[in-house]
Each structure stands twice: as C-alpha cells, then as structure tokens.
Structure 1
Amino acid sequence: MIEVGALRALRSVAALGTLARAADELGFTASAVSQQIKRLERQVGLPVLAPAGRGVVLTPAGQAIVDAAPEVFQALERCAEAAQSVADGAPQGTLRVVAFSTGIRGLLAPTMPRLSKRCPDLRVEISEQDPDQALHSIDAGTADLALAHDADGLPVPLSPSLTRRLLHTDIGDVVMARTHRLAKLDRPLTSADLIGHRWVTSPPGTVCHQWFRRLFADVPEEPDVCHRVDDFSTQMSLVAGGEVLALIPRLARPPLREGLISHPLHRPPQREVHAVWRSSANASPAIQAVLAELEATAPPDAP
C-alpha cells in the first residue's frame, strides 16, 4: 500500500520541480524526501521520477499517481473531519493559516483575541505567503486555510478541489498632510486633481504600484514620483513632510499620525480578499470558527 507521506512528497516534487524545494515546503531534508520517493517506487514497482536538467519530471507512472492523489487526500481529510465532529464539532487541534502581509495585519490579527476566548482548544499558526504560494500550500495540504487577494482586479484561478469565500474588499486612499492643498477639497479626488503633485509609491511589480499607475491611465501627463518605498510606515513618514502624497490600501495603512489625513478617490482602486480552503474540509469546525470570526471582525469602511 502506498504511504501517505510518500504520496505527499511526490506531489510536492511534481509541483516544485526539485527534491530540495519539496523538502523545504514539507519541512524535511532532501535526503528524506528522496527516501520517500524510493519507497514509493518500490511499492508500485515502477520509477515515478526522471532527471531533467537540474530538476526532475514525472514519469507516466508518476503522473498517474499524482493525478489520483487529490481523491486520496480528500478522503483522508473527510475521515479527520468525521472524527472531529464526534466532539460536538468543537474547534480543536492546530489550524495552519497562510496569508499575505497586510491580510495578516488588517484581517487575521484583530480576530485572534476573540477566537482564543471562543475556541481555547484551537491553536492557529499563521505564516506569511504571497497569494500564489498560499494557494499552492492549500492545494498541497501544507496549510489548511489561506487569505488571498485577486491579481490586479482579476480573480486568482483555483483548483477544482478548492473553495473560496469573499471576506473583504480593500480600497486605496490618498494619504496626505493636513497642510497639503488637496486636503481642503470636500469631495473625492479625481485623476485630474492628482496631476502636478509629487508622490511616494510602492516599487514597480507590486499590486500597489499597479494601482498607482491605473490612477493616471486617462491623463496624458506622467505622475511626478520622487520616492519608491515598499514599507507603508516609511511612506507615511515621507508624506508627513507635506511635500508628497501616497496611495495606500486601507488594510495596509498604519494608524494615521497627527497631521495626516486620508482622502477618498472618485474611482478608487480595489482588490477582493478571499478565504480559500480545500473543499473536502468544508465541515471543519476549526475552519468554520475562523471564518465566522473573520466575518464578524470586518475592518471599517471609513477612509
């Protein structure tokens, strides 16, 4: 009979392309993963991996095993959920949660005190991961629940074995000094209002930089970017000088220091934040408890 650990190792190697990367994901040494793969090959009587440059690829037999693996893991997860339901559905054990940085700050962190009081036997372990990696971790079984935002307005594609639920819509505002001349406007800002001012932005390649570029998509002039800084607290320190503006998502925004305000936009950039988990874990008391707290502790909509 194929061992579950060996099956999980093969699936991880197939997704990541090397034994070393699979070992990092699974928390083993490369040698341990190699031994698991060799045991699997002895159990099925066929090679499941073949060398390919510096990595490896699946053989036809290995591909057949990986294709069948989701059904095995889903069945095992349903067994675990059935066992937990015997305890009146009380959330317990360890729930592994992966999320992007500002999702941890703005959504997960505020839920933890209430969740601890409501579910004292549940241990929640949070790891920071970008959305693509977080979804892979859920699909691979190395995490139980993920918070992922969409990619520049496009929903992240999901494996058929995963379920998602919309938790929050994050919106960007312009942060400025109270002394800035735009602070006197009592209406949402338009693209035309923003031209001619200096900016601090997130670096190219980030979601927030894409948001920033979209603000000026319908105006002919290039925005005047003075600073490119990834940390939002640092951006706000530069804004406090009164000379630059910053576009900051509400989830990512630290508390506004004295002398700063946030101003809404006429057409604000936004992103949807979803919770994602394996469909076979729909009945998990732990996942349902965390989802309930996340929905009950939604961030305020005020700018």
Structure 2
Amino acid sequence: MIEVGALRALRSVAALGTLARAAEELGFTASAVSQQIKRLERQVGVPVLAPAGRGVVLTPAGQAIVDSAPEVFQALERCAEAAQSVSEGAPRGTFRVVAFSTAIRGLLAPVLRGLSARCPDLLVRITEQDPDQALHSVGAGAADLALVHDADGLLPAPLPPSLVRRRVHTDIGDLVMSRTHPLARLGEPLGGADLAGHAWVTSPPGTVCHQWFRRLFADEPDVRHLVDDFATQLALVAAGEVIALIPRLARPPLGEDLVSRPLRRPPKREVHAVWRRSADTSPAIRAVLAELGSGRLATTS
C-alpha cells in the first residue's frame, strides 16, 4: 500500500521541481524526501521521477499517481473532519495559516487574542508567503488556510475545484503626509489634480502598491525614493518632503506628526481566504473565518 507521506512528498516534488525545495516545504531533509520517493517506487514497482537538469520531472507513472493524489488527501481530510465533528466540533490541534505580510499585520494579528480565548485548544501557526506560494501550500496540504489578494483589483485567477475561496476584506490605499504638508489642509477626498507637483516615496516597480501609485498619474510623477518597507516610507514622509500611498492593512499608527487623506477614486484590492474543499466542515476553519469576519483592523490615523 502506498504511504501517505511518500505520496505527499511526490506531489510536492512535482510542484516545486527539486527534492531540496520539496524538503524545505515539508520540513524534512532532502535525503529524507529522496528515501520516501524510493519507497514509493518500490511499492508501485516503477520509477516515478526522472532527472532533468538540476531538477527532476515526473515519469508517466509518477504523473498518474500525482493526478490521483487529490482524491486520496480529500478522503483522509474528510475522515479527520468527521472525527472532529463527533467531538462536538471543538477546534483543536495545530492550524497552519499562510498569508502576505500586510494581511498578517492588519487581519490576523488583531484577532489572535480573541481566537485564543474562544478556542484554547487551537494552536495557530502563521507563515508569510506571497499569494501564489500560499495557494500552492494550501493545495499541497502544507497549510490549512491562505490569505491572498487579487493583485491590483484584477479578477482573481480561477481556483482548482479542490479549493474554496471567500472574500474577507477590501483593502484601500490612502495618502499619508506630514501634518504640515499643503495637501493636509485641503478638503477630502483628494483628486488627481490635487496631487500634481508633489514629491513621493513609493514601493519599487513590480509591487502591487507601485501599480496602484502609477495609476494615479497621467504624467510622470516626482518620485524621490523607492522603498519597499512601509514603516521606512513613513519615516521619510515624516520629514515633510514627500507623501506616500499606503494600503490601510499596511499602515501602522501614524502618531501626531502624520495624517492620512482618502482619495476620490482610491485603489483597492480584495483579500480572500482560501482552503481545501474537503475541509469545508473543519471547526478550525469556521472559527478562524468567524474571527476574521468580526475582527478590527490595526490601522489608525
């Protein structure tokens, strides 16, 4: 009979392309993953991997196994959820969440204390991951829940049938400036004409926030600084020379020297929770989603 651990190792190697990356995801050594794959090959009687440059690829037999793996894992997960339901549906055990950094700060951190009080037997472990990696982690069974965003307001990519998505938050970008800055004295909300002629600090090209920023302007803006860390952006804003566009999820308390101002047409991104369809009845998922639905953001002016 095929071992579950070996099946999970093969699926991870198939998705990530190397034994080393699969080992990192699974929390094993590359040697341990290699041994699991060899046991699987002995169990099925044929090779499941073949070398390809510095990585590996699936053989036709290996691909057939990986294609069948989701049904196996979903059946196992339904067994576990049934056992939890019998036990009055009390969330317990370790619950693994993967999320992008600002969702951790603005959505997860504010609800952890309340979740711990309501579910004392549930241990939440959080790992920062970009949305693409987070979706893979949930699909591969390396995480139980992912928080992802739709990347600059674009329609989210279709999910495989094995995953479920629910919108949990809409993140909005605001302008942040020194309290003495001329824009701080204008009425709200601010429009594109109000922004002309001012100097900026913004996130580097290739980030969602830089895409948000570029959409504000028809002409080339005066960008003085390119900084990825939002706390560092705010330190530069506090000097009074530049202003910044900051997502509300990413914004720490501004203190007395800084103020935020809304935009007339603010950039937005939708944040979704994603989990495996086979875990729909999970008491832990229901508890975490309930907290996210009632949580308060950690952003203040």
TM-score between both structures, scaled by the size of structure 2 = 0.97
Q: Which residue of 2 aligns with 1:253?
A: 251
Displacement, 1:78? 0.1
Superposed, 1:227-246 pairs within 5 Å as: 227-246=225-244
Report the Cα distance in structure 1 between the residues aligned to 2:28 and 2:274, rounded to whole angstroms. 25
- In the other structure, the counterpart of 1:6 is 6
How far did residue 4 of structure 1 move? Answer: 0.3
> Secondary structure of the equivalent of 1:199?
strand
CA shift digits 1:59-92 (9 cap, x unpaired): 1110000000000000000000001111100111
SS at match of 2:104: helix
Aligned residue number for residue 278 of structure 1: 276
- Contact conserved, 1:164 with 1:274, CA < 8 A, in 2? yes
Matches within 5 A, 1:23-172: 23-154=23-154, 155-172=156-173
How many residue pairs match? The answer is 300
Q: Is the 8 A contact 1:198 1:243 kept in 2?
A: yes
SS of the equivalent of 2:243 reads strand
Instruction: State the AA in 1 paired with 2:159.
Output: L
Please state how far the C-alpha of 1:206 moved relative to its aligned partner: 1.0
Contact 1:97 1:143 in 2 (8 A): yes
* Secondary structure at the counterpart of residue 8 of structure 1: helix
Mapped contact 2:149–2:270 kept (Cα < 8 A): yes
Query: Which letter does structure 1 place at the counterpart of 2:2?
Result: I
Q: Distance in 2 between matches of 1:266 and 1:165?
A: 27
Alignment correspondent of 2:193: 192
Cα deviation 1:257-283 (Å, max 9, x = unaligned):
212110100111110000100000000
Runs of 4 or more off by more than 6 Å in structure 1? 300-303
Q: CA deviation at 1:302?
A: 8.4
1:137-169: CA deviation from partner (whole Å, max 9, x where unpaired): 000000001111112222143221000110000
Structure 1 residue runs of 5 or longer lacking an equivalent are: none
Partner of 1:196, secondary structure, is coil
C-alpha displacement at 1:292, in angstroms? 0.3
Distance 2:210 2:157 in 1: 19
Q: Which amino acid aligns with 1:78?
A: R
Distance in 2 between the 1:157 and 1:57 partners? Answer: 25
Gaps of 5+ in 2: none
1:268 aligns with 2:269: no
CA shift for structure 1 position 301: 9.5
Contact 2:19 2:30 in 1 (8 A): yes
Tell me if the contact between 2:106 and 2:298 (Cα under 8 Å) persists in the aligned partners: no
User: Is the contact between residue 105 and residue 298 of structure 2 (CA under 8 Å) also seen in structure 1?
Assistant: no
User: Which SS does the other structure have where 2:160 is aligned?
Assistant: coil
Contact 1:148 1:273 (C-alpha < 8 Å) held by counterparts: yes
Q: Is the 8 A contact 2:253 2:299 kept in 1?
A: no
Query: Secondary structure of 1:273's partner?
Result: strand
- Higher mean Cα deviation, 235-244 or 161-170? 235-244
Distance 1:169 1:276 in 2: 15
Farther-moved stretch of structure 1 (105-114 vs 150-159): 150-159
Aligned partner letter, 1:275: A
**Distance in 1 between residues matched to 2:201 and 2:35, nearest whole Å:** 51
- Is the partner of 1:2 in helix, strand or coil? coil
1:102-122 Cα offsets, whole Å, 9 max, x none, are 101100001011111101111
Give the TM-score, by structure 1 length: 0.96
Partner of 2:249: helix, strand, or coil? coil
* 8 A Cα contact 1:168 1:298, kept in partner: no
Letter of the 1:197 partner, please give it: H
Question: Which shifted more, 275-284 or 202-211?
Answer: 202-211
Per-residue CA shift, 1:157-194, capped at 9, x if unaligned? 32210001100000000001121111111121112211
